[in-house]
Amino acid sequence: MSFDFALAWDSMPALLNGAWMTVLITASVMAVGAVLGFGMCLVRMSRNRVLAAVGAAYVAVFRGAPSIVLLYLVYAGLPQLSIVRDTPLWVLFASPLFCAILGLGLNHSAYVVEILRGALSAVPPGPVEAALALGLSPRLVFLKVRLPIAVRYGLKAYQNEVLIFLKSTVAVGAVTIADLTGAANEIFSMTYDPFTPLVTAGAMYWAMTNSLRLAFEALDRRLNRHLAAGVPDSRPATARRADPGSALFRRLRRSPAKPAE
Amino acid sequence: MGLAFQTDLGLDARLRHRAAIEIRGLRKRYGAQEVLRGVTLTVERGEKIVLCGPSGSGKSTLIRCINGLERHDGGTIAVNGVDLDADGRGVQDVRREVGMVFQHFNLFPHMTILENCTFAPRHALGLSPAKAAERAMHHLARVRIADQAGKYPAQLSGGQQQRVAIARALCMDPKIMLFDEPTSALDPEMVSEVLQVMEELAAQGMTMLCVTHEMGFARHVADRCVFLDHGEIVEQADAERFFAAPESERLRAFLNQMLR
């Protein structure tokens, strides 16, 4: 068994088509996961016991179920209900792509709930108290202080989860979607060469996960630049000029206030 | 003297004499443990009070009740005439009047020094970014740290961070400042730079309630020292008498511990 470069080259268009589907599904599921995950995290952390229980059940069900089972349930199970089949909802549920994004999104968002919840609980009370003591509304304190700090804490765990679920998108083959793995399998069944298309697809997955990794690392550096001691404002000059404080800062630096120490 | 004049004086005096902070019979418990057991304390406008006592005596809880970071279980608190209910009403009004400085600085780690100081004026007072920055730079210059405005808190020393925290509170134009052991987390050589800023603030007439064990500060600045033990005010006196001639056995024991 050897790697057939000619076949790999010839199967590029089909594989890239499949890879595009994988990217599309991954990006959509990340979006669904961010929205559902954030919303359900607030529900999960609600002081209202009923809401909190609903949130806990959400996590237990959608994190507990394998994503392939969720895919089958959404694609083949829900249309058994007449409320899905005989209403405009059918337009959505008749689409395998919609079902795939919803099924994987439910699974992924349950993980996001727990990652975000852990990160929010890890935020030290000090800065939050300081913001409250300044007279800021609890809502604003959550959005501008607690959440941004939590996002920084949770980023690594979130990155892990995204990379894992990107690879688990192969399950969408179960609902007739031809993604990267599907395309590779198709070529395998036509050529009886399993090695070449699957290794090529593997290399593409590797390229995707590593692009994501690099993107996450760049985001991490950007968000955590406050921890890189000794590095002053690294924003582009245009951003610095747009900051009204920095002009004042520069002016004061030219004629510093006399230190009395 | 005419009667009218007397009434005028009475009304005027009553307005002028409305205390900065009026605490009556304050009670607070955590579960079965009572941390404040009926504390009554009045802070006049412009007065500087130093609050001390052994660890667990309720000092921090007392000042955290004043701006509603802790809810009290009994008694009353009024700040500049605004009542703070046990269920938290009036808390936003009170927080506008009262600035607070914490033991561990509690700067916003993800914001620059300037952003730390402009955040509340912009979002709670609705100042424009330029106005807020101007105000922030004024107060940062006041605590002699304006040249660090573009840095992040993690890039500053403890003493610098604490001075930023003071500037951040001042940016809201508070009438009263609460200090919760502002120098306890600092390396010894940084204590004086923070105390100096606090002394300047005191000299400018700020009403201050400080939990601190800095005796030099207490002697220089405090109009009154208050000793708290087991959730009660045991003794209060002017600084000289407080340290030189403590009346109660508990305060004597506490001072002995501290001087050792």
* Cβ-based contacts of A232 with chain B (< 8 Å): 150-151
| A81 part of contact set with chain B, CB < 8 Å | no
* Cβ-based contacts of B123 with chain A (< 8 Å): 136, 140, 144
Beta bridge partners of B51: B211, B226
How high is the pLDDT of residue B12? 52
Give the residue on B whose Cα is nearest the Cα of A226.
Answer: B152
What is the set of domains in chain A, with CATH numbers?
Answer: 5-252 (1.10.3720.10)
Interchain proximity A260–B152, CB inside 8 Å:
no
Q: Encoding tokens for residue B150?
A: 């573009």
- Please state, in angstroms and as integers, the Cα–Cα distance from residue A136 to each residue in A141, A144, B17, B180, following that order: 6, 10, 29, 20
| A13 part of contact set with chain B, CB < 8 Å | no
Q: Encoding tokens for residue B243?
A: 């340290």
ipTM: 0.90
Percentage of the residues of chain A whose pLDDT score is greater than 90: 68
**Alpha-carbon dihedral B229, B234, B237, B239, rounded to 10 degrees:** -20
Q: In what order do the strands lie in the sheet with B224-229?
A: B98-101, B176-180, B207-211, B48-52, B224-229, B232-237
| B243 part of contact set with chain A, CB < 8 Å | no
* Cβ-based contacts of B158 with chain A (< 8 Å): none
- A140 has pLDDT over 60: yes
How high is the pLDDT of residue A155? 94
Phi–psi pair at B21, nearest 5 degrees: -135, 130
How high is the pLDDT of residue A252? 47
- The minimal CB distance from A253 to the residues B69, B147, B172 is found for B147
How high is the pLDDT of residue A110? 96
Q: Which letter, b or e, does each residue of A91-117 get, where b requires 16 or more Cβ atoms within 10 Å of its Cβ?
A: eebeebbbbbbbbbbbbbbbbbbbbbb
| A202 contacts A183 by C-beta, under 8 angstroms | no
Interchain proximity B155–A230, CB inside 8 Å:
yes
Segment 195-224 of chain B within 8 Å of chain A by CB: 196
How high is the pLDDT of residue A150? 95
| A149 part of contact set with chain B, CB < 8 Å | yes
Q: Give the residue-averaged pLDDT of A214-240.
A: 71
**Secondary structure of A210-239 in HEC code, one letter for each residue:** HHHHHHHHHHHHHHCHHHCCCCCCCCCHHH
How high is the pLDDT of residue B155? 92
Of all helices (H) and strands (E), which one includes residue B52?
Answer: strand B48-52
* Cβ-based contacts of B67 with chain A (< 8 Å): 133
Which of A93-97, A214-218, B111-115 has the weakest average pLDDT? A93-97
Interchain proximity B152–A227, CB inside 8 Å:
yes
Task: Sort strands B98-101 and B82-84 into parallel, antiparallel or unpaired.
Answer: unpaired
Please write the tens of the pLDDT for every residue from A168-190.
999 998 888 999 999 999 999 99
Q: Encoding tokens for residue A185?
A: 């399998």
Interchain proximity B106–A252, CB inside 8 Å:
no
Interchain proximity A130–B108, CB inside 8 Å:
yes
| B256 part of contact set with chain A, CB < 8 Å | no
Mark the ranges of chain B whose per-residue pLDDT is less than 50: 1-9
- Please state, in angstroms and as integers, the Cα–Cα distance from residue A82 to each residue in A66, A72, A74, A78, B148, following that order: 25, 17, 14, 9, 65
The SS3 assignment for B180 reads strand
Please write the tens of the pLDDT for every residue from A17-57.
999 999 999 999 999 999 999 999 999 999 999 999 999 99
Q: List the one residue out of B144, B131, B65 whose CA is nearest residue B98.
A: B65
- The minimal CB distance from A259 to the residues B107, B144, B169 is found for B144
| B65 part of contact set with chain A, CB < 8 Å | no
| B175 part of contact set with chain A, CB < 8 Å | no
| B139 contacts B176 by C-beta, under 8 angstroms | no
- The minimal CB distance from B102 to the residues A130, A135, A233 is found for A130
How high is the pLDDT of residue B10? 52
How high is the pLDDT of residue A253? 46
Report DSSP state, residue B36: E
Interchain proximity B102–A259, CB inside 8 Å:
no
Sign of CA dihedral B85, B90, B91, B97: negative
Segment 235-254 of chain A within 8 Å of chain B by CB: 244-246, 248-249, 252-253
How high is the pLDDT of residue B213? 87
| B155 part of contact set with chain A, CB < 8 Å | yes
